[in-house]
Amino acid sequence: MAVAEPQPSEPPGLRLVGDDTYPSWEEVYRDNAERVYRLMFSRVGNRPDAEDLTTEVFLAAMPRLRPDASVGEVRAYLRATARTALAEHWRRTLGRQLTSIDPDAIADEFEAAPDRPEAAGRVRRVLAALPERYCKILELRFLQAASIREAAAHLGVTVGNAKVLQYRALRAAAKLIDAEGR
């Protein structure tokens, strides 16, 4: 009777060397690309932006990673780079940096905003110009920091539909902002 050999703990094709380091840059990408993509997709809710952001993360991170960095260090650096890429994405898309939003800070900005009254007015104008469902999905996701699942439940739609709504709402808001700037 043959005894089955224990299976390796890492995925097939991934061979770690030494103190849990990657043998090549290709292995860094293979092991982490899906993880970074899923993170980005969960934050932006659409495939094209998630793919672009994943590419940005690897393009930014790879030149700065040490070849002898441990798996944990590589993953931590990729997470930090992903946060930066995501913040830059929201800054480009909405005209301000967003990673998560404190509802009290937003309320303060909308109520007072003495140093940037035009920003609060601009946000109000853009939201008012959007169709009601677009406005609601953006408020839920970015002003109330609801997850895509929570926003979908609140709107009574599927998660997929909420992702499409969010994507379309962001594009519509970006067009309004561009038109306002001209």
| pLDDT 10s digits, 46-63 | 888 889 999 999 999 888
CATH number at residue 135: 1.10.10.10
My answer on whether 89 and 108 are in the same domain is no
Among the residue ranges 58-72, 88-102, 122-136, the one predicted with the least confidence is 88-102
Question: In 3D, which of 61, 36, 62, 31 has the Cα closest to residue 50?
Answer: 36
Same-domain check for residues 151 and 175: yes
The radius of gyration computed from the CA coordinates of the chain, to the nearest angstrom, equals 21
Does 73 score more than 80 pLDDT? yes
Q: Who has greater pLDDT, 78 or 119?
A: 78
Q: Which domain holds residue 118?
A: 103-181
Query: Is it the case that residue 6 has pLDDT exceeding 60?
Result: no
Q: Would residue 2 count as lying in a domain?
A: no
Does residue 89 sit in the same domain as residue 107? no
Q: Are residues 107 and 166 in the same domain?
A: yes
Residue 45 counted as domain residue: yes
What is the count of structural domains for the chain?
A: 2
> Is the residue at 8 inside a domain?
no
CA pair distance 141, 25, nearest whole angstrom: 35
Q: Is the pTM value of this prediction over 0.75?
A: no
Domain end call among 94, 111, 132: 94
**pLDDT given at position 99:** 46
d(CA 117, CA 135): 20
